[in-house]
Each structure stands twice: as structure tokens, then as C-alpha cells.
């Protein structure tokens, strides 16, 4: 066989192929790495020592683009490293870089460990590893680099760290770091933080206090002892564990520090020094989530917000007025109780015009009850879980009739709803029920018409996400509750023709060079029919005009709903005009009874005060009626078209979505013969009988129901007997001949109940 033929039969060697691919991969990777290295060096920021001086503050503007305030750089006091006690330095070293004095700017093992930690976190495993960046790297990142996470930025960080270590001593680097690091509550550097949290100088900090401050570097917002004392102490103890493990403190010191109770500066951090603090705190928290602490407080951002200073001032003034709240006192933590919150929004855009998260602002980025505190909404949830879906999904409307009579749901532990005023009104329209906040009707709508799963879906469209519980959901008995912000946005959809807008408070963010880093993008969603929104609005106008919300009248068309939980622990008013929607909440931070406090009292009063002023320069207008709304007259006891027996006083004219006007006639009013004397169904002996128009339904109700006497009786007259049929005459006058099947000397074999059954079924 020739050589040529041998070559043709030669097979590919798999080992050589794999080896070739590996070599090719290594070469490509090396080339890519070299390319990244070249780009990183080429684009390396200049080592400008001026950058080690903190940069400009962030500016926040209102909706008119007027400067409101600056955040960052207001609270910083330089401290010499010589005045920082060893245990304070050691706390930060233990928390951030315990081998700081041993490395030359970076630690390869720490970088690898951090990469492993990131990889484990991606697959859902969290490990408490120390970060991969040394203190030198962190100072470089704060001074020269952006928060961007990339290989290029990491290479630049390493190169600049080597430069930093060659140019400055370890103590100088540590001093710059301790004076620059942000430690929350507006405090920059260790000295400002010591004053902010403990009211003392750095040199006077205890070991436990130093450990707490060092723990803040991981996340100043989350670990703030003013926001979450328990979490702050847990983080402090982790730092103390590290200090002991790395031999910075001995065992007695360690045990003493861990047992030290948290004692913060009285009265909280330094007094507020910026306007509209709750709104500014809300903006700040969002900025930190988007860009990080360093960028927000040192990056010189320009932030354009939706704030309306006038409305915000009205809201703050109303929330600060003691006359707008039940009797108040300070709790053990010195916080005024009960507390309150208010949110005002433009329903057409979702822009937040005003936001107040408490009656007094004690420290920067304090608890914002408008956005952070879900509470039980009481009856304010009824339009969302009962009436809204009943109209949207079931084709019901303001004139639909529900029986306000006692009911028990045995499958839910015999749950029986009760009305707040103790009344049971009987057959009433949905408009009447919502106007007077009738609980039984709301529960029946949820359970007997809408169903819980469908109600939960409807609420989710309005960004109110609930877990299904039971009938009490219709009255605000929720597993989580809602925040004033969430309820405001939900009600805004009713005001905005069924269109939901996500709440917006930041319109645009620019960096120092004018480059846009963020811009809000409107994303309106249709969450219900326009006719549904209008029918709900029209019923809620009745609430304000003549129902539980009369305290919110502002001299122009307005719609709203009160909310009061059991024992008045949470009281609400949610209301709107065509131009603004607002929600007010009042309650104790730890739910507490507030006797004689209702949504229609204090919250409605605050809402009226703020809204009156907010609308001063807005021309009054009514809500726009959409296409598809018609008017019809129906029977108010059946919800059907009037029938031949419908009394004049039971006629009601209301609005309907086109296609939902009933086509059947009233079948509830019937002609019924009753005993003229007793008003019961007559027995065979009753001498006088009259015919009345009464209500006939296939079930009975308790006598406590207010229209009980209008319903066909369930009782048969037991007063008249055979003697009433025997007279002295011969058939004239009131004396009637005995029925042929009646023996006056023999008891009737049928009892009264059997007689009633025969009479009722025969009608």
C-alpha cells in the first residue's frame, strides 16, 4: 500500500485535539487578560492627592427645580490618629482588615476568599466571610474610583493601592480612612459618629461602642442602632468576636464588652438641620439603594424630585398640631404617641407631592411610617377587596342589593361579622352599605359573590399583595397590613380612571458633569375598567357627602373612605379629588386602643385641613363621567326593575355600567294576607285578615334586622281560636261559618309550623 493511501486512513487523535483546544483557550484568555490589563493601566485615574479630600455634597431640588437642601459633608470632624485609642483602631481593623499592618495594600487570599463568597452567594449559600478589600483598597475606592464592579476597576484599585502604600505610612492611611468613612445618620468619620451615637469623643469610646461603630461600615443604613437596635447589637457582637479571635482583646474584656447594654445619645442624633425631613429621608434612602452611600453623600449628585414645598408644609403643620390627634404622651423611648403619617399624590402621574412619616422628626433617616410601617387598614380596604371586584368581576353596581343580616361562616371558625354601630339594616344597596361602612355587606360581597382568590388578584393589580386569610379580610384583617404609601397609590387608580401609576418621588438624577444617571420612566397600567373606577368614586362621594366621611368635606367634589380597626388601634382616611389623592393614618407604633377614635374624626380632620389648602389654587371640578355609564330606576329591596308590587318609597335611581342594568322585574315584594290583629300569618280561625305588600325571601332573618317586620311573617297567629268563629248571628257580621274540614271539638293534627310551611310554599 502506498504512503498516500496510508495518510488517507489516518484518524484524528482526540488527545491532541483536546490539548490544542486547551492551549488555544489559554492563549485567548491570556490575550484577553493582557488586553484588560492594558486598558486598565491606560485608563488609570491620576493619583491626585486632592481626591483624598471629601468631594462635593449631593443637591436635592423640588418639583420646581428649586434647591431644597444638600446632603453629605455636613457632619465631619477630623481627628488625629494619635488621639484614636488602640481599641478603637483595633475594632475597625478586626471588622475590615485585621492584617492591615502586615500587607502592602492588597491581600491575594482575601480577594480569592471574597470571590468564593460571591460565588456561594449566587447559588444561595451565605457565608460570613470578611470582605476582600483591604482598608487601603477601600480608601482608594472612596477617593479615586466609581462604585462600578468590574475586572478593570479591580485592577485599577490594586495598582492605586500599591501607590498609596508607597506614598503614605500605615498610620496615615488609617487616619484618612477613619476620617472619611461614612457611618450612618449623616456622620462622616469616627469622631462625628462617636458624637452622633454616643455624645462623646472618639478617645472616650468603650470597646463595645467602638465595635458597634466599626460594624456600621458594612451597611450604615441597615445596622443603625436608631433603626434596629437588636440588629445593631448583633453586628457589634460579631465585631467583638473578631476582635477576640484576632487577639485584639483578651477574654475578660471580650466578655465585659458583649454584656454592655446599648446606651445611645439621649434624644437621638443631632437635631434636624434640613427642611422637609421625612421627604428628604425618603429620597435619601432610595438614592442609597441606587448608588450607594459614598456616591450619594460624596458624589455631588443633582437630584430632581416631585416635592411640592407648599403641600409638604401644609402636611407637616397638620401632623405637628396636637389638636389633630387623640390625647398624647411620650412612650418609654421618648417618642410621642399616638403617631401618624400622611401621603399626598398626583393620581394622574403617581408623583408624590408630600410625605410625612411621623409627628416629630428626631433624627436623620428616622422611622418613616408613611413607607415603612404596614398597618391594618380597617374598612379603608373595602373598595379594594369587596366593592371594586364586585363591580369589576361580578357586574354589580351601586344599586345592587345585599341583605345586611347576621351571618356565620362555619368553615372559618364560626366567624360572624358585626357592624360597628350594632345595627342590621336588612336589604340595602351597595351604595348605602359603603356610605355607612356596613361590615356585614362587605363580608358577604367578598365571600358570597367575589370570593377570596379573586379579591386577592384584584388587590394585586393595585400593588397590594396579600395572603388569603378569611372573611375578615373584607374589613381589613390582613396578614401583613398596608402602608399609607401603598394605600395612596391604590386609591389613586380609582381617581385616575382605573389606571395605576407606581409612586414616583425622584424624577431625574445627574452626576457632577450633568450626565443623567437615572430618569423616571412612567409605566401606567390599566387595572380596572374605567366604569368600575367611576362607580366606586361615585359611591365614595356619598361617603363624604352623607356617610362616615363627612368630616372630610372641603367644599368641592371629593371621594373617600374611613377605616377603623378593632378598638381603634388604627384609624385611617383615604380620599381624593380629581387632582390629588391623600391618605392619613393615626395609631401607636405598638398597636394600642384609642377609645372614641375613628377614621372619620382625626384622620378626616387632617385630610380636610391639608387638602383645603393644597387646592387653593386649583379650579374646582367634578370627576369626569366616562362613556358607558347609564342611569336607571330599580327596586331598592331586590335590585331589579320595579314590579307591580314595588312601593313608591322603595324606588331608587342610580348609575350603572352599560349592560348591567337588570332586565328582570322585582320578585321580592309580594302580596301577603296576614291577621289584621297580630300581623302574623293567619290561622283558620282569624276573623279579620288584610293583604299587605311584604318582602318574600327564601330564608329567614333574626328580629334584630330592621326590615324584619316588612318581611313575610314566619309565625302563625296563635291568638285566635275556634271561639272567634262562633257568634250569636247566623253568618252575618264577623261571625264566619266553620270550614267543613274543621272539628272544633278535635285538636288540629297539624302544628303551626306545618301550616306555615304549606302556606309559604303555596304562594
Angle at 619 between CA 614 and CA 622, to 5 degrees: 100
Averaged pLDDT for residues 286-309 = 91
User: 6-15, 417-426, 429-438, 496-505: which range is least confident on average?
Assistant: 6-15
Contact of 356 with 453, CB cutoff 8 Å: no
Averaged pLDDT for residues 741-756 = 33
Q: Which residue has the higher pLDDT, 187 or 312?
A: 312
pLDDT tens digits for range 492-512: 999 999 999 999 999 999 987
> Could you list the active site residues?
96, 379
Per-residue pLDDT at 237 exceeds 70? yes
Averaged pLDDT for residues 524-533 = 98
Q: Which residue has the higher pLDDT, 159 or 310?
A: 310
Say which residues have a Cβ less than 8 Å from residue 728's Cβ, sequence separation at least 6. 735
pLDDT tens digits for range 686-712: 989 999 999 999 999 999 999 999 999
Averaged pLDDT for residues 392-404 = 98
Say which residues have a Cβ less than 8 Å from residue 357's Cβ, sequence separation at least 6. 278, 281, 282, 341, 366, 367, 368, 369, 370, 371, 372
Averaged pLDDT for residues 206-234 = 91
Chain mean pLDDT for the chain:
85
Residue 348's nearest CA partner among 621, 62, 60 is 621
Per-residue pLDDT at 447 exceeds 80? yes
* 124 CB-contact burial (10 Å; exposed 0-12 / middle 13-18 / buried 19+): exposed
Peptide bond into 338 cis (omega under 30): yes
Give pLDDT, residue 52. 59
Q: Which residue has the higher pLDDT, 571 or 133?
A: 571
pLDDT tens digits for range 48-95: 555 555 556 788 999 999 989 888 755 566 788 999 999 999 999 999
Give pLDDT, residue 742. 30
Give pLDDT, residue 15. 63
pLDDT tens digits for range 28-40: 555 544 554 444 4
CA atoms within 13 A on the CB side of 251: 0
Angle at 360 between CA 354 and CA 362, to 5 degrees: 115
In this structure, how many other beta carbons lie within 10 angstroms of the beta carbon of residue 67?
10
pLDDT band, residue 746 (cuts 50/70/90): very low
Residue listed under C-alpha cell 394605600: 487
Question: Could you give the CA distance from residue 214 to residue 209 in angstroms, rounded to a whole number?
Answer: 9
Per-residue pLDDT at 213 exceeds 90? yes
Cell output for 589: 407604633
pLDDT band, residue 11 (cuts 50/70/90): low
pTM beyond 0.85, yes or no: no
Residue 727's nearest CA partner among 736, 718, 717 is 736
Residue listed under C-alpha cell 363624604: 544
Question: Could you give the CA distance from residue 340 to residue 336 in angstroms, rounded to a whole number?
Answer: 10
Amino acid at each position: 500500500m502506498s504512503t498516500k493511501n496510508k495518510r488517507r486512513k489516518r484518524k484524528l487523535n482526540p488527545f491532541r485535539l483536546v490539548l490544542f483546544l486547551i492551549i488555544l483557550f489559554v492563549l485567548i484568555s491570556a490575550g484577553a487578560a493582557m488586553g484588560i490589563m492594558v486598558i486598565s493601566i491606560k485608563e488609570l485615574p491620576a493619583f491626585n492627592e486632592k481626591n483624598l479630600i471629601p468631594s462635593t455634597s449631593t443637591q436635592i431640588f423640588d418639583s420646581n427645580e428649586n434647591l431644597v437642601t444638600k446632603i453629605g459633608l455636613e457632619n465631619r470632624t477630623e481627628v488625629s490618629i494619635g488621639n484614636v485609642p488602640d481599641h478603637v483602631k483595633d475594632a475597625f481593623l478586626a471588622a475590615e482588615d485585621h492584617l492591615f499592618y502586615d500587607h502592602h495594600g492588597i491581600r491575594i487570599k482575601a480577594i480569592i476568599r471574597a470571590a468564593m463568597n460571591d460565588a456561594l452567594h449566587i447559588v444561595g449559600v451565605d457565608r460570613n466571610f470578611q470582605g476582600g478589600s483591604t482598608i487601603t483598597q477601600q480608601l482608594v475606592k472612596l477617593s479615586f474610583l466609581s462604585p462600578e464592579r468590574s475586572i478593570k476597576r479591580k485592577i485599577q484599585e490594586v495598582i492605586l493601592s500599591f501607590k498609596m502604600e508607597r506614598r503614605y505610612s500605615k498610620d496615615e492611611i488609617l487616619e484618612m480612612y477613619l476620617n472619611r468613612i461614612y457611618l450612618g445618620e449623616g456622620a462622616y468619620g469616627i469622631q462625628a459618629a462617636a458624637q452622633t451615637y454616643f455624645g462623646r469623643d472618639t478617645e472616650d469610646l468603650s470597646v463595645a461602642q467602638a465595635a458597634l461603630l466599626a460594624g456600621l461600615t458594612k451597611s450604615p443604613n441597615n445596622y443603625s442602632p436608631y433603626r434596629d437596635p437588636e440588629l445593631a447589637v448583633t453586628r457589634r457582637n460579631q465585631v467583638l468576636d473578631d476582635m477576640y479571635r484576632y487577639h485584639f482583646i483578651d477574654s475578660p474584656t471580650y466578655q465585659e464588652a458583649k454584656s454592655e447594654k446599648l446606651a445611645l445619645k439621649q434624644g437621638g442624633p443631632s437635631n434636624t438641620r434640613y427642611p422637609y425631613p421625612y421627604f428628604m429621608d425618603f429620597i435619601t434612602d432610595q438614592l442609597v439603594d441606587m448608588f450607594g452611600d459614598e456616591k450619594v453623600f460624596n458624589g455631588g449628585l443633582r437630584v430632581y424630585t416631585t416635592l411640592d414645598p407648599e403641600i409638604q408644609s401644609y402636611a407637616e403643620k397638620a401632623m405637628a398640631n396636637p389638636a389633630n390627634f387623640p390625647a398624647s404622651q411620650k412612650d418609654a423611648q421618648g417618642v410621642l404617641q399616638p403617631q401618624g403619617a400622611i401621603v399626598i399624590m398626583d393620581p394622574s402621574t403617581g408623583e408624590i407631592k408630600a410625605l410625612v412619616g411621623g409627628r416629630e422628626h428626631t433624627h436623620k433617616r428616622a422611622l418613616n411610617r408613611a413607607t415603612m410601617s404596614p398597618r391594618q387598614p380597617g374598612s379603608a380596604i373595602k373598595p379594594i377587596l369587596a366593592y371594586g371586584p364586585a363591580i369589576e368581576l361580578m357586574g354589580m353596581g351601586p344599586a345592587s342589593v345585599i341583605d345586611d343580616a347576621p351571618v356565620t361562616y362555619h368553615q372559618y371558625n364560626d366567624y360572624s361579622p358585626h357592624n360597628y354601630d350594632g345595627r342590621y339594616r336588612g336589604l340595602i344597596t351597595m351604595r348605602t352599605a359603603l356610605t355607612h361602612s356596613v361590615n356585614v355587606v362587605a363580608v358577604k360581597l367578598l365571600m358570597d359573590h367575589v370570593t377570596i382568590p379573586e379579591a386577592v388578584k384584584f388587590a394585586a393589580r393595585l400593588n397590594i399583595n396579600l395572603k388569603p386569610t378569611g372573611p375578615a379580610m373584607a374589613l381589613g384583617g390582613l396578614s401583613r397590613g398596608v402602608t399609607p404609601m401603598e394605600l395612596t397609590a391604590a386609591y389613586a387608580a380609582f381617581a385616575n380612571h382605573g389606571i395605576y401609576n407606581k409612586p414616583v418621588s425622584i424624577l431625574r438624577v445627574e452626576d457632577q458633569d450633568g450626565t443623567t444617571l437615572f430618569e423616571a420612566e412612567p409605566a401606567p397600567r390599566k387595572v380596572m375598567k374605567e366604569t368600575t373606577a367611576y362607580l366606586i368614586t361615585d359611591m365614595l362621594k356619598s361617603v363624604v357627602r352623607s356617610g362616615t366621611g363627612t368630616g372630610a368635606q372641603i367644599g368641592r367634589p371629593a371621594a373617600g373612605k374611613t377605616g377603623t380597626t378593632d378598638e381603634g388601634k388604627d384609624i385611617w382616611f383615604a380620599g381624593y379629588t380629581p387632582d390629588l389623592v391623600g391618605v392619613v393614618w393615626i395609631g401607636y407604633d405598638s398597636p394600642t386602643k384609642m377609645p372614641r377614635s375613628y377614621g372619620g374624626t382625626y384622620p378626616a380632620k387632617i385630610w380636610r385641613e391639608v387638602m383645603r389648602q393644597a387646592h387653593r389654587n386649583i379650579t374646582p371640578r367634578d370627576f369626569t363621567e366616562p362613556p358607558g355609564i347609564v342611569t336607571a330606576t330599580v327596586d331598592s329591596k331586590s335590585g331589579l326593575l320595579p314590579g307591580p308590587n314595588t312601593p313608591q318609597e322603595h324606588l331608587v335611581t342610580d348609575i350603572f355600567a352599560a349592560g348591567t342594568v337588570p332586565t328582570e322585574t322585582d320578585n321580592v315584594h309580594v302580596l301577603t294576607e296576614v291577621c289584621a290583629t297580630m300581623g302574623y300569618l293567619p290561622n283558620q280561625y282569624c276573623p279579620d285578615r288584610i293583604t299587605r305588600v311584604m318582602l318574600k325571601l327564601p330564608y329567614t332573618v333574626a328580629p334584630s334586622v330592621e326590615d324584619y317586620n316588612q318581611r313575610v311573617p314566619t309565625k302563625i297567629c296563635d291568638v285566635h281560636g275556634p271561639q272567634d268563629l262562633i257568634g250569636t248571628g247566623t253568618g252575618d257580621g264577623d261571625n264566619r261559618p266553620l270550614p267543613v274540614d274543621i272539628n272544633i271539638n278535635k285538636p288540629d293534627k297539624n302544628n303551626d309550623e306545618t301550616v306555615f310551611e304549606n302556606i309559604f310554599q303555596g304562594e
